[in-house]
Amino acid sequence: MSDADVDTAERIVVAGYGPAAHRLVERLAHRGHGGAVTVLGAEPEPAYQRPLLTSVVDGTLPSGALRLPAAPEGVRLLLGVTATAVDRERRLVHSDDGRSHPYDRLVLATGAAPRLPDLPWLHGSDGQLPAGVRVLRTLDDTAALAGAAPVTVVGGGPLAVEAVLALRRLGRDVTLVHRGPYPLDRHLDPRAGELLSARLRALDVDLCLGRTARAYADGKLRLDDGRCVAAHDVLLCTGAAPRDGLARSAGLAVDGGVFVDDELRTDDPRVHAIGDCARPAGPAGSYGGHTTAWEQAETLALLLTGDDFPPARSRPVLRLRARELDLVRLGAPDGADETVVLADAARGRYARLSLRDNRVCGAVLLGLDRAIAAVARLYQRGEPVPADRLALLLGAAPEYAGEELPGDVVVCHCSNVTGTDLEAAWQAGARTPAALTAATRASTGCGSCGDELRRWCTEFVRREEAVSA
Ligand SMILES: Cc1cc2nc3c(=O)[nH]c(=O)nc-3n(C[C@H](O)[C@H](O)[C@H](O)COP(=O)(O)OP(=O)(O)OC[C@H]3O[C@@H](n4cnc5c(N)ncnc54)[C@H](O)[C@@H]3O)c2cc1C
């Protein structure tokens, strides 16, 4: 987007108020956008950290703790209001409260809805899910998962695994039904998958793998092999589908998401889409590599306030938010010229390190917490790995063991916050994890760095005490 295209007094209307919209309006204000900003959010509550919903399910966090910082002053926030139609000719968004909202630029941030598997028993004539069948996408959904009766989770992705563990923490009997050969089969190699399955079984999770659910009635889920599983509740964790209906009815190009170019623009140059509702028109990994909802929001805020397309910074990281299971996947093994595997089934430890030019391009690490810190550091910095690979994986490489919390390591990938950023905020007076979050935005994305943020806080206190002793 060239400077000539940008008018910082433009009226911006945002449809949707999830994490992507929240980050966008916060960044627009930070960058001095002068025009009116109106946000329509269908949910009654302000934006919250959706990825932390499983922490509400298991009672680790109260629902209020997920709330993201308040919208900047001056933003017109209309909660419980759904955008129902877009009149692109007159540049108006209509909402279900009968109002119309004029825009110079419209940003679609309508997110995604749970994707339901194509199973006939799920789709009644009234369009409602059968009683007892649930999804996990909103704060409202978490309340329905309280209770003690057996529950069956259907799915095999990170949400399914995190939900299974959260429900076990509540003491519920849990069965996981997944049609793949092991949970996280799209992320892990078979060996890691085997160990993960063993770990889940050790936590008393009943795994039904390679199976689909055929019918659900009277608290029993029947599988395709004829087995019946007791299930007071069935939780579907079977993916998310972009909410692109508003764009479709406005005549924008849509196919499993709103098509956008590298500048997050739809085929109408006045309409953008970010976050889970957007789909890059180019090959996977488009947006110049800006892939998460948070990063897309930051990119668009820069573009709408006259900056250049920012450099990509995402380095894909998947980390389970589950204290029973230290599991991380970094990058991808594609193009590796060396692979190092460590498998210690008896102690549930596993590592697969994919190296290219002696640097980490991908890694799967399970049950190796010290190696996770060291390998993640090498991966983020793009530094060569030590010659003694085994020592690195066992957390025993001396050159990687000393500096526990190095300043240049990215602590929060979603907001690109380093240890040095945290230290600067601490020195400026942010003395609690919440204050550090408010000052740096660390932990306002996927939330998987929450524990690390607390560790840093403890470390700052320790350093101060050491100085004053
Ligand atoms: C339990 C869980 C764990 C997750 N973990 C991770 C993770 O570790 N890492 C990661 O990158 N992602 C994770 N995700 C996905 C992440 O939450 C999404 O990528 C992120 O929420 C997308 O933000 P968004 O604002 O685009 O959409 P959403 O969060 O879906 O928000 C969209 C909002 O728009 C509202 N809306 C929809 N239509 C309209 C309309 N017409 N008018 C007004 N409002 C509307 C919706 O009600 C919703 O509030 C996780 C998701 C879940 C549920």
- What H or E segment, with its residue span, contains residue 167? helix 158-169
Distance in angstroms (rounded) separating the CA atoms of residues 383 and 377: 8
> Is 414 found in the same domain as 388?
no
79 within some domain = yes
Whether residue 292 has its Cβ less than 6 Å from ligand 1: yes
> Is 456 found in the same domain as 349?
no
User: What is the residue range of 357's domain?
Assistant: 326-402
Out of 26, 276, 413, 449, give the residue to mutate to test ligand 1, the one with the largest number of ligand atoms within 8 Å of its CB: 276
319 within some domain = no
Residue finishing a domain among 367, 382, 402: 402
Whether residue 174 has its Cβ less than 6 Å from ligand 1: no
Number of domains in the chain: 4
> Is 139 found in the same domain as 225?
yes
Q: Ligand 1 centre and the CA of 283: distance in Å? A: 22
> Is 456 found in the same domain as 383?
no
> Is 395 found in the same domain as 418?
no
Out of 110, 243, 258, give the residue to mutate to test ligand 1, the one with the largest number of ligand atoms within 8 Å of its CB: 110
373: alpha, beta or left, given left = phi > 0 and alpha = psi -120 to 50?
Answer: alpha
Whether residue 50 has its Cβ less than 6 Å from ligand 1: yes
Distance in angstroms (rounded) separating the CA atoms of residues 172 and 153: 12
**Which atom of ligand 1 is closest in space to residue 277's alpha carbon?**
26
25 within some domain = yes
318 within some domain = no
312 within some domain = no
465 within some domain = yes
> Is 355 found in the same domain as 287?
no
Q: Ligand 1 centre and the CA of 276: distance in Å? A: 6
CATH number, position 428: 1.10.10.1100
Whether residue 22 has its Cβ less than 6 Å from ligand 1: no
Residue 423, classified by CB atoms within 10 Å of its CB into exposed (0-12), middle (13-18) or buried (19+), is middle
Q: Ligand 1 centre and the CA of 161: distance in Å? A: 18
Distance in angstroms (rounded) separating the CA atoms of residues 434 and 416: 17
Q: Which residue spans within 248-348 are E strands per DSSP?
A: 258-260, 271-273, 278-280, 317-319, 327-331, 338-344
- Lookup: tokens for 248: 């479709």
309 within some domain = no
Q: Ligand 1 centre and the CA of 144: distance in Å? A: 19
Tell me the average confidence (pLDDT) per consecutive run of 10 residues in the chain, 469 residues long.
62 97 94 94 94 90 88 96 98 98 98 89 77 93 86 96 95 95 95 95 96 89 92 93 97 94 93 93 48 86 84 71 86 90 91 95 90 84 88 72 62 80 89 85 79 84 77
> Is 394 found in the same domain as 382?
yes
Buried b vs exposed e over 249-268: b needs ≥16 C-beta within 10 Å?
ebebebeebbbbebbbbbeb
Can you tell me whether residue 425 is helix, strand or coil?
helix
> Is 261 found in the same domain as 229?
no
Instruction: Give the strand order in the sheet containing 37-41.
Output: 76-79, 37-41, 12-15, 105-108, 271-273
> Is 140 found in the same domain as 30?
no
Residue linked to tokens 């196919």: 255
- Give pLDDT, residue 284: 46
CATH number, position 176: 3.50.50.60
Whether residue 111 has its Cβ less than 6 Å from ligand 1: yes
CATH number, position 364: 3.30.390.30
> Is 109 found in the same domain as 56?
yes
Residue finishing a domain among 192, 209, 238: 238
260 within some domain = yes
> Is 245 found in the same domain as 234?
no
- Give pLDDT, residue 94: 98
Out of 13, 23, 24, 50, give the residue to mutate to test ligand 1, the one with the largest number of ligand atoms within 8 Å of its CB: 50
Residue nearest to atom 4 of ligand 1 (CA): 51
> Is 425 found in the same domain as 395?
no
Residue finishing a domain among 402, 421, 438: 402
Q: Ligand 1 centre and the CA of 257: distance in Å? A: 13
Helices (H) and strands (E) in the chain, counts: 13, 27
Distance in angstroms (rounded) separating the CA atoms of residues 273 and 84: 16
Q: Ligand 1 centre and the CA of 243: distance in Å? A: 10
Whether residue 393 has its Cβ less than 6 Å from ligand 1: no
